[in-house]
Structure formats: C-alpha cells, structure tokens
Amino acid sequence: MERKRKIIAALADLKQEIAGPIPVDIVSKWSRSAKTPQQQKIILEPFERRGYLVASDSAGLSRLSGERTLLEVMKMVSEPKEIIYLLGRKIGGEGVGVWAADNSLMFYPQEKVGAGLLLETMSAAQKQIGRGPLQVGIGLHRGTFWEIGRGMFGEEAELVEKVAEEYTAAGEIVVSETVRADWGSDQHFRLRRREDLAQIEKDFFSLNYDGMGPEHVDFPLPDPAELRAEHFYPFPFDTDFFLALKKMGRTAAGDDTEQNQKVLQSYAHRKIVLLVKVYHKSMRLLLDQLTDWVVVNAILNEMAVKYDVRTVKSNGDLAIFVADDVNEALGLAEEVLTSMAASDDRVSIGLAAGDVLLFDLEGGGSDIAGGPVNIASKISEDIAEQDSLYVDQSVVVPAHHLSRYEPYRLEKSGIVLRGLRYRSV
C-alpha cells in the first residue's frame, strides 16, 4: 500500500522577501558613471515611486502550524492576503514582489489614494481578517521608494517592512508620522503613540478605527468559479494550486483526504534545502548596494551549477537551493561559506531535509513551501551568525564530512534544534 504524503505544517518564514533579480542594465549604467549621488539620482529616477507602502505579517502562525497540516496552514495564510489584495486593489493599490511567506506588501500612489481612504480600507480588511483563524499586523508609511526588480528598495521600504514584521500585534495597524499628518484629524480614528518604536528614529502610532466604511466592510472573496486574473494576489505557486486552495474549506480534513493527496502528489518532493542569507558590507549609496547584490547572486548561482544543485530563488541577498544528493549540498554550502569568508560580505547557511512543495511559477522562476525551509531559515536567518553553517539533524552527514563538524543544540521560537555545525572558517 502506497504511503500517503504528509508534510510538516510550516511555510518559508523568511525575514527578507525575495522579489526579482536586480536588472543588469541598471548596474551597467552605474558602473560606467561617475558613481556620484547625482548620477544615482538620474539613473534611479525612472524607478522612483512616491506614496504609501503597506506591509502585513501574520501573528500566531507558529502555534497554528503545530496544530494543522501544511495545506490547512497554506489556506489560512492565503485568505488574509486575498482580503488585503482585493480591498487594496479596489482603491488603487498595487501588489509588490512575490508574497511567498505569511506577509504581503502593497504600494498606493499618493496621487491616486488619500490617507483617509487607505486607513479606512485597512481597518475594514482587519475587521474581515479578524473573523478567520489567522490574524495579521499591518505597518503603513508614506515615503519615497524605488521599485526595482519587482521589489521596493530604500531605507523607508525597509522601515515599513521591519515595523510590520517585528512591531505589530494581531489585528493592529501601525502608521508613521507622515501618514498621521496626511489625514489630519477624524472622529473615527484614535491614535496611541508607540513609545517602544522611538529607537528607530521616527514617530509611529497604533491606530484604532471605530467607523463603519460601508463601501469596504464585508467585501466578499470571489468564488473559485468566478476568479479572474485580476483577483490573483502575487502568490508563490501556480494557478492550479491556488484554485485548489480556494476550493478547500476553511477547516480542511487534513492531508489524508483524497483531494488533498492528489494536490500533494503533484507538488511534493523529498529534498535537501539549503538557505543562504547574505550580510553585505555597508555602503552609502543604494546602487552600490544593488551592484553587490548582482555580483553575489552571480557567484551563488554559478556555484549551484557546479554542484548540480537547483536554485529555487535567489536575488543576491537571500537564496534557497534544493538538492537530492547530500554530498553535493554540503559541497556547495562549504564552498559558499569559505569563499564568502574571504570577501567583504558574509553569509549564514542552514541545511534541512524532508518533504517540500515545489512550484514552477507561470511567470518564470519557482518557489517552495514546507517544514525544511522553515528549519533552514531558523538556523541561518534567525540565528544571524555570520560565517556560519548549521546542518539540521534531518540531514544525514556522510562519515567523510564529520571531521569538519561539531554537534549543536539551539532553541529558537520555542523549537529545539539539533544537528551539526561546521567548524569556524
């Protein structure tokens, strides 16, 4: 009797969302220029966007992941993103990047969307999301950003994502001083200054909205049979999988149902996951930073080809690879670690093995979900130990590698992690 596939209920809980690769023509123009702030302004001018950037991040996902199957968790994670996207798009918002984990990012041009309407809409989104099993926190800031390679760049973009990921609670909306100044005073909005955010050098406020925006409240999610392309948020899987998630009930019967087994069999693979987080040397100008991303991305992808390891996604700041052969995976990890240690940049690397879902995206590229990705992220990104290589106990390290490793035991987010750590380079 064939064993039914069961995949650990965890998603790629990545600190840095991967957008697309940095366009080479930008780097080429920069390399031929005088590399002055004025030259950067000229080159980046076509990519400049002024408006509101809104980021969301889930709350309580770790607890729910321990109680549900992967497909149930993916369904729960998808619904808040659908609500945020459909409500946001209705008032003129645009999805940014690929919403690969449990977060979202949308941009609202300030010439099209006012602060009052935006705050009302996000409040309505939170009200509707609040009826489901997974809650989110939302961060909102008006500023100047640069949209490059499907991602938003600049210090202000990093700021709003950091606020959403690290400083919001379930159901909360946190807005910056620029947003507060735009809408002025309204009897339906009440603000509380977030004193704990003073260390990031900008004023932020927790928003409470007691109004009833009738145009946006109870906005129904489209039925799967009525879905059109404009309903699709920038999801990290193909349309067939998205439709399969839509057809699942809010409380799915688990991975053992016949329907869910068919979905899992189509996408499930047993792989070794290798996650590389890059810590770039500090640079004053954004284009110097992006150039370094391009160089590092090229190096990582060239090494992956050498070891016959598949690149799932990579942008020079974060990369995820999958391998079938443990020797190839360890060979790549060790060479990346030693090579980067000799450069001005640094890395932290995590390896974990098990069943994952792999998706070939319709617009090109691929994405991944599953417990090994989450574990690899925890022992690389979460630990954030530069010049480190941690191998989870799920990876069987061959005897001829063992002399270069030592045991470790770590606790992160309430999870005990064990395995082998590569000795200092």
Domain match, 226 and 298 both: no
State the average pLDDT over residues 306-312.
95
| In a domain? residue 279 | yes
In the prediction, which pLDDT does 187 show? 62
pLDDT tops 80 at residue 20? no
State the average pLDDT over residues 155-163.
91
Rounded to whole angstroms, how far apart are CA atoms 239 and 225? Answer: 13
Could you count the other beta carbons within 10 Å of the beta carbon of residue 130?
12
Domain match, 177 and 294 both: no
Domain match, 114 and 49 both: yes
| In a domain? residue 241 | no
pLDDT tops 60 at residue 79? yes
Domain match, 80 and 150 both: yes
State the average pLDDT over residues 216-229.
62
pLDDT tops 90 at residue 249? no
Domain match, 157 and 224 both: yes
Structure tokens at 294: 């391009």
Tell me the per-residue pLDDT of 312-350, one tens digit each, with 9 for 90 and over. Answer: 988 888 999 999 999 999 999 999 999 998 888 999 999
Tell me the per-residue pLDDT of 358-390, one tens digit each, with 9 for 90 and over. Answer: 988 776 778 888 888 888 988 998 888 999 999
Domain match, 155 and 224 both: yes
State the average pLDDT over residues 220-245.
76
Q: Which helix (H) or strand (E) holds 346?
A: strand 346-360
pLDDT tops 50 at residue 252? no
pLDDT tops 70 at residue 253? no
| In a domain? residue 49 | yes
Q: CA 123 from chain center: how many Å?
A: 23
Domain match, 288 and 204 both: no
| In a domain? residue 205 | yes
Residue range(s) defining the domain that contains residue 393 = 268-422
Rounded to whole angstroms, how far apart are CA atoms 86 and 129? Answer: 12
pLDDT tops 50 at residue 2? no
Distances (CA, A) of 82 to 1, 31, 231, 235, 319: 38, 40, 8, 10, 26
Where residue 225 falls among pLDDT bands split at 50, 70, 90?
Answer: low
Where residue 212 falls among pLDDT bands split at 50, 70, 90?
Answer: low
| In a domain? residue 99 | yes
| In a domain? residue 311 | yes
pLDDT tops 80 at residue 300? yes
Rounded to whole angstroms, how far apart are CA atoms 50 and 56? Answer: 19
In the prediction, which pLDDT does 131 show? 86
Where residue 413 falls among pLDDT bands split at 50, 70, 90?
Answer: low
The domain that contains 392 carries what CATH number? 3.30.70.1230
Tell me the per-residue pLDDT of 174-197, one tens digit each, with 9 for 90 and over. Answer: 999 999 899 876 667 788 889 888
| In a domain? residue 294 | yes
Domain match, 281 and 354 both: yes
Outline where DSSP puts E strands in 198-267.
Answer: 204-209
State the average pLDDT over residues 59-67.
68
Name the pTM for this structure. 0.84
pLDDT tops 50 at residue 241? yes
Distances (CA, A) of 112 to 115, 152, 232: 10, 19, 22
State the average pLDDT over residues 33-60.
94
Q: Please identify, among 213, 231, 249, the residue that sits at the C-terminal boundary of a domain.
A: 231
Domain match, 77 and 199 both: yes
- Average pLDDT score over the chain: 84
Rounded to whole angstroms, how far apart are CA atoms 271 and 394? Answer: 11
Nearest to 210 by CA among 170, 173, 178: 173
| In a domain? residue 6 | no
Q: What are phi and psi of 235, to 5 degrees?
A: -80, 160
pLDDT tops 80 at residue 70? no
pLDDT tops 70 at residue 206? yes
In the prediction, which pLDDT does 3 show? 42
Tell me the per-residue pLDDT of 25-43, one tens digit each, with 9 for 90 and over. Answer: 898 999 999 999 999 999 9
Q: Name the domain count of the chain.
A: 2
